[in-house]
Chains A and B, each alone.
Chain A
């Protein structure tokens, strides 16, 4: 039985999230500003900016010269990740196994859902639309790339459905521009449409009509893949395992940087490790994010530890240097667990020394105390900003880790 891939597309997702309550920005020429430290290329662009010929990935200087009154919207990577995670979880809540592309683009296999919801794809789409709650475009086709292409031609209330076998998919894709290959979430295909256009290959049909050996000879692996996509084929979906969200945040009353921020991070690490949902598991990867002062947007960085960790000291050593990359003082800091490792994954020495035995006993005592009296049972005082002129800002109580 042929597969049915459903693609959800939310146009200008990152720009919309970054604009937040300033919805008027979407009606004027506006672009997502480059992230601090990243290459000076603009992100997603508003419709009005597109009218000036500006597109995502254009150099900032060129965009500004095309439209001098262009508004630059500070990027909000943490907000985008949160909202996008919400969309993916909403899709998973209807039973979909989701492959997450870039924020604003997701695909899932719809064949199983058809049985679950009965009727045609319209019921699955209605369920997905209801769960997501954000105006989105939907495309349905037998392959991922065709579904993405269908979604890019759809309207919010009018999904595009491509039914039939590979031949029907080829017919649907044939008149479409090769620039659609950029939407296939494959890094090596990013630059290919430009090269194809220079050679006079403007549509996917023209690309599919070429012998695959010639395309592979000229463009290598990327050409082979592009030919496969243009011919209606695709690789299988790589769906994600639904994730458990575990996060801790801290509002910083004074815009913080330097030592204060390091103490806030130490506090967050202690709090994450003390969460009962962790169930003794180590942490494989975490996401550190911050809300920057003066509407400076957000900052977000993901860190995968060299080995799964459960030790707050080693986590601090790994995470603290990342704080130096913050482009501005932070108004709040947040630490989320991105992936868990095995429970107590750290190897111990062959012979336990008395000190580690004492620590183990202390940990066990704390665990039992918490089990009996709740998470507030064992706390320690952590100096957050010892030099502050306001006494209530100097110290906080944080979970005690033995």
Chain B
């Protein structure tokens, strides 16, 4: 084991989102049916590598519960689980 392995590491995911509020419309090709919750997390703003994430907990049309976030620093989308 080369280093401690963290659980729930975010993985890149293709997401299409609405322009005006950034709400995800489809995740990995699956259409979003409902948004359950959305929240913003900011941390390490005092360092040179701040973290700013807009999280979305959604249900896709195939019934899957997904948590994705938009990295507001890099502009990329990630799946948290």
Contacts and interface: CB of A to CB of B under 8 A. Distances in A.
Interface string B1-32: 10011111110000000000000000000000
B80 interface: yes
A376 B51 contact: no
B8 A394 contact: yes
Interface residues of B, number: 14
Interface stretch (A213-221, A226-234, A346-354, A385-393): A385-393
Interface in B46-74: 51
B74 to A, nearest CB: 15
A271 interface: yes
A396 interface: yes
Given A391-B80, A391-B81, A392-B10, A397 B5 contact: yes
B5 A396 contact: yes
A371 interface: no
A355 interface: no
A254 interface: yes
Interface in A371-402: 375-376, 379, 381, 389-399
Contact of B4 (A389, A390, A398): A398
B43 interface: yes
B23 to A, nearest CB: 21
Contacts of A259: none
Contacts of A392: 6-10, 80
Contacts of B6: 392-393, 395-397
A217 B64 CA distance: 89
Interface centre among B1, B5, B41 (most CB of A within 10 A): B1
11 contacts: A250-B4, A271-B1, A271-B4, A376-B1, A390-B43, A390-B51, A391-B80, A392-B8, A392-B80, A397-B6, A398-B4
